[in-house]
Structure 1
């Protein structure tokens, strides 16, 4: 019990005087999201995409709580223009992501991210009893607590800007970061739109069949537009957006990120990059198993950071270097 109490008291980041109401809200959503995975949905005995549905909604809820704290406990203090811009942009990010999730069907009863079944299968090598216990620990510790904790961490730098930011003239770095964040939200929206249009076109042309010759000719996956320069442009924009937000909050509040004591500003974005790198790896393994031509796309196109596609000569040399050495025939 002492261990559980210390975990509860130390996160979300109690060392920086986070309010008890925010801590209670965080742990309540962790426990509730875990319990909801036991509720049958749409013919499924279990559903592990509860947190996936909270992903677009969760960060703005912390902003609302911090804005309420500002109005409730600080007499006469208003949001600075820097904080107001940031809050508005995060709400735009949330609305856009919600819209994209709704049209993809992520909020349908019983809808679940296709990757969870593959993650669940990775526990199959264990003894059934041990595997079941390990999976439930993973379910609570990673799917619920870790992911919601990450969502708290990526928006957490905004807390200081909302509660303690003072009104001042916009500096050139602040303006540049603001423009960059807007461009990244637009870039993510464009990438998602291109992917959605491709999927709709594929369904319309092929009736949802993945075995038609025309679909095989296209490759079965989006590879044009922004996807020509990055295999996951939406993921790159998402990572860069939260990293830019952390830097923007530090600049607007006068925090020196060169000081190791302030490295916690970048903790959330760094963890997000590591998590999404692993998630992208799983996604690509599944896609490659379904569409063999995806290997050629991997050789030509940057994984995350947008870059000019590789030439045919580079692809051939890379493939030749990676191929196993052929055995000499007698």
Structure 2
């Protein structure tokens, strides 16, 4: 087992300590590579690849003799294979395919402050988060002599159910976006510019729900092995939850600014957990345009800094309209269809116009 010890840490000499060394090396490599290529989505490409490697390091150190660690590794390998495939078909691994949100942040911050963000959150912050939400495998390895129990089998079943749920949600979004892109390329009207069918009728982000659920239940393997409900390895899925929730809010602010009808969808459909609704801020409407209130814009920018994660989960709606209108090869013609009401920040309904989109956008659903 390699143990480079880039920094002194309490896990030195353990398999997952070696995984931490690898994590730090990859984070350090991502910084100059991002600067040289002017592409800051390299961690996004590593998101689905690192967790199975970390688990395999631990499993191999135990000579694959721990049934629990082997089961955890198998599940993470399945998760990785599906998410990597989803990223491949979306073009995430294609050179030059940078998340449009990083472009917006770079333009807002300027070169110096953006590089500070790259040194901290984009590279090291996200890579450490990936390592951390995989860390229950370390606790399972430390208690490797504990035999498999009923909680392990329940956890595996829940993980697989959520795995299937995320695959279905991502597939539904993929087919919807492909059809939407085809309609735009053909110059047809897109009366429904965002998905509300399938699993998306039960909550607005079923893929986020399933992704978070998998890593929440993954921690139960550590609980089953050690009998301890509270352990530092549980902080990983908590931090991941905070990150994805902030990213979800950012994505929704972009969708609401692009599509006035999205506010109606927000008013009738839970955000994350089916059957559970929470009151979130709402952009106000004026005519056929939805605008984000001045007091919300700084908050949205903060969410942009700390809320971008790839892992193949996102709205897939592509860059915000404001980032594309100045392109000579993009044209857009709104088509007003009907008048409806949406909830405003103060809870009072306000009239808006539901609009469709017509035109050609080569960058749509990047």
Would you say the 8 A contact 1:66–1:163 is kept in 2? Answer: no
Deviation, structure 1 residue 256: 1.8
Q: Quote the Cα distance in structure 1 between the aligned partners of 2:25 and 2:123.
A: 11
Q: Which has the higher helix share?
A: 1
- Give 2:219's aligned residue: 246
Q: Does 1:152 align with 2:131?
A: yes
Q: Does 1:62 align with 2:87?
A: no
Aligned with 1:9: secondary structure? coil
Cα 1:7–1:278 change in 2 (3 A) is: farther
Deviation, structure 1 residue 275: 0.6
Q: Quote the Cα distance in structure 1 between the aligned partners of 2:14 and 2:95.
A: 39
Q: Across the two proteins, how many residue pairs are aligned to each other?
A: 286
Would you say the 8 A contact 1:115–1:283 is kept in 2? Answer: no
Q: Quote the Cα distance in structure 1 between the aligned partners of 2:96 and 2:342.
A: 46
- Give 1:128's aligned residue: none
Q: Does 1:51 align with 2:19?
A: no
Would you say the 8 A contact 1:246–1:266 is kept in 2? Answer: yes
Q: Quote the Cα distance in structure 1 between the aligned partners of 2:108 and 2:234.
A: 31
- Give 2:347's aligned residue: 322
Deviation, structure 1 residue 163: 5.2
What does residue range 305-316 of structure 1 map to in structure 2 within 5 Å?
305-307=273-275
* 1:193 corresponds to which of 161, 168, 171: 171
Q: Which has the higher strand share?
A: 2
Would you say the 8 A contact 1:229–1:309 is kept in 2? Answer: no
Q: Quote the Cα distance in structure 1 between the aligned partners of 2:71 and 2:159.
A: 11
Q: Quote the Cα distance in structure 1 between the aligned partners of 2:99 and 2:161.
A: 28
Larger mean Cα displacement after TM superposition, 287-296 or 155-164: 155-164
Deviation, structure 1 residue 288: 1.5
Larger mean Cα displacement after TM superposition, 49-58 or 160-169: 160-169
- Give 2:228's aligned residue: 256
Q: Quote the Cα distance in structure 1 between the aligned partners of 2:133 and 2:13.
A: 15
Aligned with 1:38: secondary structure? helix
Aligned with 1:64: secondary structure? helix
Would you say the 8 A contact 2:129–2:240 is kept in 1? Answer: yes
Cα 1:20–1:165 change in 2 (3 A) is: closer
What does residue range 31-180 of structure 1 map to in structure 2 within 5 Å?
31-40=28-37, 46-71=38-63, 78-123=64-109, 131-162=110-141, 164-166=143-145, 168-171=147-150, 173-180=151-158
Deviation, structure 1 residue 292: 1.5
Q: Does 1:228 align with 2:201?
A: yes
Deviation, structure 1 residue 287: 1.4
Q: Does 1:25 align with 2:16?
A: no
- Give 1:303's aligned residue: 271
Q: Does 1:278 align with 2:251?
A: no
Would you say the 8 A contact 1:58–1:151 is kept in 2? Answer: yes
Cα 1:196–1:317 change in 2 (3 A) is: closer
Describe the superposition over 1:65-102 as per-residue Cα deviations: whole angstroms up to 9, x where unpaired.
Answer: 1123223xxxxxx4333222211110000000000000
Describe the superposition over 1:181-231 as per-residue Cα deviations: whole angstroms up to 9, x where unpaired.
Answer: 11011111110000001011112233276xx43x1x21x111111111111
- Give 1:74's aligned residue: none
- Give 2:307's aligned residue: none
